[in-house]
Amino acid sequence: MTTPISGFSKLSKGQKIDWLTEHYTKDPEASKKLILAYWNQDSDLQQLHDDFIENTITNLYMPLGIAPNFLINDELYAIPMAIEESSVVAAASKAAKFWMDRGGFTTTVLGTEKVGQVHFIFTGDFKQLESYFNSIKEKLHADSAHLTESMAKRGGGISAIELRDKTDDLTNYYQLHCTFETKDAMGANFINSCLEQFATTLKEEAFGYDAFTAEEKQIEVVMSILSNYVPNCVVKASVSCPVAKLTISSDISSELFAEKMVRAVAIAKVEPYRAVTHNKGIMNGIDAVVLATGNDFRAIEAGVHAYAARNGSYSSLTHAEIKDGVFRFWIELPLALGTVGGLTKLHPLVKLNLELLQNPSSKKLMQIIAVAGLAQNFAAVSSLVTTGIQKGHMKMHLMNMLNQLGANTTEKNQLVTHFKTNTVTHRGVSDALEQLRNPS
């Protein structure tokens, strides 16, 4: 059993690697070589990456691809996507090209409100608490003015502070439910700083509030933190065209294809098992752009999935209908994003990716990312209701299989040609490679 280590964070990077490989790998020298191979040769750039998190030993690269031909509100975009899964970029690109010829994507930001809460315990009478809250409401704003000054100059700040009685859910539990506008910043640090100031004012002013008993003056703040659930920070993206123009393949009529698409989405609306995978496909597109632009994909994932369950049952994020001979396909989802702060000004590739997107505002980035999710879902569902998901996905996965099997360049070229007309399976690829190497 490996002995626990004390002071690991104080070791040099090299010492960390030595200790880790000696204690946790079968071949320390080979492991060190691999770790070093992923260091950036530019020492300044490597140091920048090292400083992003703690106890760094190397970099884990993820492919960065481009999905071109996205026509969004009559503007053309090439969208950067950072993702490891085969077929995602290809599917997005295919959907973008399909809809570019049919008018492109239309988007609207429905709201940009973000949320934070001060969670606290109060053991007295709610009406007394309510009166107290109303008496200090102006001071809550005044005491946080030094935090909001800069944001206010950009048109942002605190939108509202509400007292909420949550005692039906948990004994003596109340909260300050606060809403914010953070403009082009994601705003996590700004929101959390404001909330902590609210908490301080809430506690301190209670001691001087004469209507409180001695016990009521002892307000216990449990925590002050932003929420990644932002149901009023929502964007809508949509596509539409006459059903007659919805020609996806010569093997299926546009009318039948449209009906199949609507039915597939309807199933994802009522069946959570399907909805989870349906929405996972949407997040393939969304996460890839969120990651490429230096935003927090974990926060986005959490908020989006909560939104998908907001009506009491987990359901599809996308919607589809046929009305008056027109097929419509759209998505509404919450996206709390930033184009300033965080990694957006630190990570060189993030800066480049934002430049590729024409340095969008946070609102514009919301629209671009929503479109990426909608395009991904259209591509996935259209495959499911026609040829099936595996035909296209496995062809894109072919190169990964060939690399796993150790195929050389010549073998890869020959087998890529072979599988243009043959079904891709792991066994099939393995057998074809063996046949190529040993024709007898």
CATH number for the domain running over 114-227? 3.30.70.420
20 vs 405, higher pLDDT: 20
Residue pLDDT, tens place only, 410-419 = 888 888 888 7
Contact 318, 374 (CB under 8 A): yes
pLDDT at 1: 60
Q: For residue 215, indicate whether it is catalytic.
A: no
Q: pLDDT at residue 393 above 60?
A: no
pLDDT at 47: 94
Q: pLDDT at residue 379 above 90?
A: yes
- Rounded Cα gap, residues 340 and 244, in angstroms: 44
434 vs 69, higher pLDDT: 69
pLDDT at 436: 81
148: its two tokens:
């909001």
Closest CA to 329 of 283, 275, 265: 265
50: its two tokens:
């090292």
Return the sign of the alpha-carbon dihedral for residues 245, 250, 254, 259.
Answer: negative
Range scoring the smallest mean pLDDT among 57-66, 250-259, 405-414: 405-414
- Across the range 283-300, mean pLDDT stands at 97
pLDDT at 409: 86
Q: What is the DSSP letter of 105?
A: B
- Residue 273, helix vs strand vs coil: helix
From 114, 205, 296, 347, active-site residue: 296
- Across the range 149-160, mean pLDDT stands at 96
- Across the range 227-245, mean pLDDT stands at 98
- Rounded Cα gap, residues 288 and 399, in angstroms: 20
Strands (E), 122-276: 157-165, 173-181, 220-227, 234-242
Using the structure block, give the residue that is written with the tokens 């705003």: 187
Residue pLDDT, tens place only, 48-107 = 999 999 999 999 999 999 999 999 999 999 999 999 998 999 999 999 999 999 999 999
Return the sign of the alpha-carbon dihedral for residues 48, 335, 61, 71.
Answer: negative
377 burial class (0-12, 13-18, 19+ CB within 10 angstroms)? buried
Using the structure block, give the residue that is written with the tokens 């204690």: 23
Q: For residue 280, indicate whether it is catalytic.
A: yes
Q: Give me the residues paired with residue 320 across strands.
A: 329
Enumerate helices (H) and strands (E) in the chain, giving the number of each: 15, 10
- Chain centroid to Cα 279, Å, comes to 12
Share of the chain above pLDDT 90, in %: 85
- Across the range 363-371, mean pLDDT stands at 98
Residue pLDDT, tens place only, 182-196 = 999 999 999 999 999
pLDDT at 385: 95
What is the chain's length? Answer: 440
Strands (E), 7-140: 64-72, 75-82, 106-109, 114-121
Contact 422, 414 (CB under 8 A): no
Q: What is the pTM of this model?
A: 0.89
Q: For residue 245, indicate whether it is catalytic.
A: no
Contact 368, 394 (CB under 8 A): no
Q: How many CA atoms lie within 13 A of 313 on its CB side?
A: 10
Residue pLDDT, tens place only, 26-47 = 999 999 999 999 999 999 999 9
Using the structure block, give the residue that is written with the tokens 């106890």: 55
Q: For residue 418, indicate whether it is catalytic.
A: no
Q: Are strands 318-323 and 173-181 parallel, antiparallel or unpaired?
A: unpaired
pLDDT at 414: 82
From 23, 146, 280, 391, active-site residue: 280
State which H helix or E strand residue 320 sits in.
strand 318-323
Return the sign of the alpha-carbon dihedral for residues 19, 23, 28, 32.
Answer: negative
- Chain centroid to Cα 142, Å, comes to 35
- Across the range 432-437, mean pLDDT stands at 82
Instruction: Name the residue ranges covered by the structural domains of the chain.
Output: 8-50, 67-107+231-387, 114-227, 393-437
Contact 406, 436 (CB under 8 A): no
29: its two tokens:
């020298």
Q: pLDDT at residue 260 above 70?
A: yes
pLDDT band at 425, cuts 50/70/90?
Answer: confident
- Rounded Cα gap, residues 239 and 102, in angstroms: 8
Residue pLDDT, tens place only, 323-365 = 999 999 999 999 999 999 888 889 999 999 999 999 999 999 9
422: its two tokens:
């043959």
From 94, 183, 393, 395, active-site residue: 393
Q: Are strands 173-181 and 157-165 parallel, antiparallel or unpaired?
A: antiparallel
Share of the chain above pLDDT 70, in %: 98
CATH number for the domain running over 67-107+231-387? 3.90.770.10
From 85, 216, 271, 411, active-site residue: 85
Q: Give me the residues paired with residue 158 across strands.
A: 180
Q: pLDDT at residue 156 above 60?
A: yes
Output the CA torsion 331→360→302→309 (10° steps). Answer: -20
- Across the range 282-294, mean pLDDT stands at 98
Contact 32, 13 (CB under 8 A): no
